[in-house]
Every structure is written in structure tokens, then in C-alpha cells.
Amino acid sequence: MKAPIALDLKLIEEIVSPAEMDAAARATEAAAQSLLAKSGLGSDFLGWVHLPKEAAKAASAVVKAARSFANCSDIVCVGIGGSYLGSRAVIDSLGGGKKTRIHYAGHHLSPTSFSRLLKSLNPKKTGLVVISKSGTTTEPAVAFRILKSWLEKGAGRAKAAKRIVAVTDAKKGALRGMAAKEKWATFVIPDDVGGRFSVFTPVGLIPIAASGLDITKLLKGAQDAAAAVQTKPFAENLAMRYAAARNLLYRKGKTVEVMANFRPELHFVAEWWKQLYGESEGKDGKGLFPAAVDLTTDLHSMGQYLQEGKRNLFETMLWVKEEEGDLKVPRDPKDLEGLNFLAGRNLSWVNEQAMRGTAVAHQDGGVPVIRLTLDRLDEYTLGYLFYFFEFACGVSGYLLGVNPFDQPGVEAYKKNMFALLGKKGYERLAAQLKSKGV
């Protein structure tokens, strides 16, 4: 079966030659084999590798749980990082939530934003999906406490309990204990799947299904991607070739990767991608810095830097061939803005020329450009794309020589925040921080 995505490396060849790519085959295939054999670093967190097929077996239970929100006009998804970015990327990309609006909380601590959210909701028509392995991460825990109290006060405790779904640890943790006591519907976050790789677990599937999108098609795309990237040799393997290309560019001093899209609805795909690669590779003083821009919008802000700034970056352009709808540029008799040369042209064609012109301009300006082209935006293609990125990320981390499946640096800010908030057991650290004038 033809892949719904294509990888174009022509615009990096001035820096990374085809011969260098060929020479990277052995090391890249070895890294991929380490993933499949679970013989590399972080092997305890490789449950995502074969997850699409396993997840498909439980899809009916997820769909059934999503139907419990049938009478809700709004659903609030409470989570942070991998607990919400994957589902939001899919939902925003495909326009899910048309019948039941999907909102997000627990990924910040802004009282203004939270207050505005609550004012826009009716507690008698709102459901909650809370996602946390421990239930104690500050941002989602605070958000859920506020939302649960608000929902119980407005709808009654018994009715509220029927409209709360908890996705958490199988046996332990504060959220698991609360769910058991209150008799909420629950789903499990697998022990061997890290948050940023969890979009094909109930973490991502529950909100996506609740938004009205088809998780069966999403998982089929991921299954087909897994079959391709796990078996094809380097010359035909899109994920291996992407991992090798970005690793070779990194070795040549290109330390920043900019994800660029030309469709505003892809914004959160890039946000999910940023977490996946930033948290997986940024350790031991190593790693590409992942950044993202929305084009053509950001060509009028970041475009100058991309064209002529420090040449330590490369660009990965995400392009979608098929649009859901199209518009023609009309002819104007007065033609005051001089656009009649485009009259009758489809807007999709205009956007494509902007993409092509930008790619060549940036490459001419010293920015290598990788192009990823999607046939269309639908559940199947996004499932394929997300698994492609996950597998490439694991391979890329191993090529870099880091454990792509831990995140020890994330804990530093949490400890400091606990100390400053006055959490028991952090008194000594609080004193140290205050002595520094924090």
C-alpha cells in the first residue's frame, strides 16, 4: 500500500549528500533494530512500538465511553504535555468537536484563562476527561480540583460522577484512588508508554473519540505506518531516512530544526512534535532544538530570521496536497491592488506557489529544507504521520546516543515549584531558594 506521506530530501543535498545518506544506513538500521528488539536505552518504555495493533482491540470500549458524553455540549480535557497535545493536534487538525465542543485545561496556571473558560461553560452540559498517571502533577491537579468542584456544585455530585472519565495508572496514584471512591469511568495509561508517545492509548483516544472523530481510522493509519517503518530497508524507509537526515544535519552544525506548516489547523501538530523531539533528545548536553512556525503568517515576522539569521538551523516543511474546499481569486474591474493576474486561480494553487518559493528561497539562503507531503488531512493520514514521527524519534535518539524515553530534567522545575508552594517535605529546598532571592 502506498504511504499517504512522502519525504523529499532534495533541498538538503548541498549539505548532506546522497552518498552520506547511504553511508548512514547501517547505523540507522541498527538503531531501529534496537527499538524492535528492546535492547537499547529506555527499553522499559517501548510499549508504544507495537501499540497501534493492541489499541485497536480496545477501541470499542473507548468509543462506548465517549458516548457517555452524548448529552454534553462541552467537554474539558484536563492534562499537560503528552496528556493533551496529541489529542488536541488531531482534533484541531480535523475540525473535531463540531457537535460537542472540546476545551483544554490543566496545561497552565493562569487564573484569567481559567475564569474565562468557566464563564463560557454550563455545568449541567459539561463533561470532564482528566488525564494524569499520578494525579499529583500541579497544573492538571489544580485544574481538576477546581473543575470537579464547579461541576458538582452546578450539576450535583451524582450527575457529575457520570460525566467524569479518568485516564490514569492501573493500580496506584491519587487519581486512581479518587476514581475508585467516586466510581468514575476509568481507563489505563500503560506503564511502558511515556506521555509524549501516548496518543494511541486512551490518553489520546478518549478525547478524540468524544470529539466525534473516527479512532478506528486513526489506528489503522498508525498500524500501516508501523508495518512499513518496522520492516522496510533504509533506502525505502521514510522514518529511518528522516532520522538519519536530521542527525547528519545536526553533526554539521544545524542545531535547530524548525517545523513549518502552511495550514493554520496544523499548529498543534507542530506543538505535539516539539514536545516529542524536545523531551526525547534534549539531554546530556545534546539534541536539536525543535521550533515551529505557521506559514505564510510567520514569514512576515520570523521570515527575516529564517532567510538571513544565524545559519545553525534547518527546516522541515509540512505540506498537505488536498484541501477540504477551495476558493478562486475573483477578477476586479478596477484592479487597484494589481491582483488580476491571479484572477481565476484557486487559492490552493496560490498557497502552493508560496510554499515552493519559500522552500527555494530558504535553501538559497543557507537553510536546508526537508519536505514532508501529506496526501490529505484525515484520521488515517494523521495516524500514519504520528507513528512515523514516533518511530523516527526513537531511532534519532539512539543515533544521538541518548535515552529518548526519559525526561529527568523536567523534574527540576517541579521540585522548586513544590518548595515555593510550601509542600511538606520541601522545606530545606524552599530555604535554599529564598536565600538566592527567588
Residues contacting residue 151 through CB under 8 Å, at least 6 positions apart: 123, 126, 128, 160, 163, 164
Looking at residue 11, the DSSP 8-state letter turns out to be G
Q: Please answer whether residues 84 and 104 qualify as being in contact, where contact means their C-beta atoms are separated by less than 8 angstroms.
A: yes
CA dihedral 191, 197, 200, 204 (to 10 degrees): 90
Q: Is 279 a catalytic residue?
A: yes
DSSP string, 29-63: HHHHHHHHHT-STTGGG-TTTTHHHHHHHTHHHHH
DSSP string, 261-319: ESSGGGHHHHHHHHHHHHHHH--TT--PEEEEEETTGGGGTTHHHHHHS-S-EEEEEEE
Q: What angle do CA 312, 396, 250 make, to 5 degrees?
A: 15
Burial-class residue 334 by CB neighbours within 10 Å (0-12, 13-18, 19+). Answer: exposed
Q: Please answer whether residues 371 and 317 qualify as being in contact, where contact means their C-beta atoms are separated by less than 8 angstroms.
A: yes
Q: Please answer whether residues 77 and 129 qualify as being in contact, where contact means their C-beta atoms are separated by less than 8 angstroms.
A: yes
Task: Put residue 374 in one of left, alpha, beta given phi > 0 → left and psi -120 to 50 → alpha.
Answer: beta
Q: Which residue has the cell 495516524?
A: 383
Q: Which of 108, 172, 414, 415 is catalytic?
A: 414
DSSP string, 196-264: GG-TTSHHHHHHHHHTT--HHHHHHHHHHHHHHHHHS-GGG-HHHHHHHHHHHHHHTT--EEEEEESSG
Q: Which of 139, 257, 271, 279 is catalytic?
A: 279
Q: Which of 2, 300, 334, 436 is catalytic?
A: 300
Looking at residue 97, the DSSP 8-state letter turns out to be -
Task: Please name every residue paired with 74 in a beta bridge, in sequence order, or none if there are none.
Answer: 101, 126
**CB atoms closer than 10 angstroms to residue 359:** 21
Kindly state the cell numbers that stand for 139.
497544573
What b-and-e string marks burial along 380-414, b requiring 16 or more CB atoms within 10 Å of the CB?
Answer: bbbbbbbbbbbbbbbbbbbbbebbbbbbeeeeeee
Q: Is 148 a catalytic residue?
A: no
Looking at residue 352, the DSSP 8-state letter turns out to be H
Helix, strand or coil, per DSSP, at residue 333: coil
d(CA 232, CA 238): 9
Burial-class residue 12 by CB neighbours within 10 Å (0-12, 13-18, 19+). Answer: buried
Q: Is 64 a catalytic residue?
A: no
* Active-site annotation, residues: 279, 300, 414
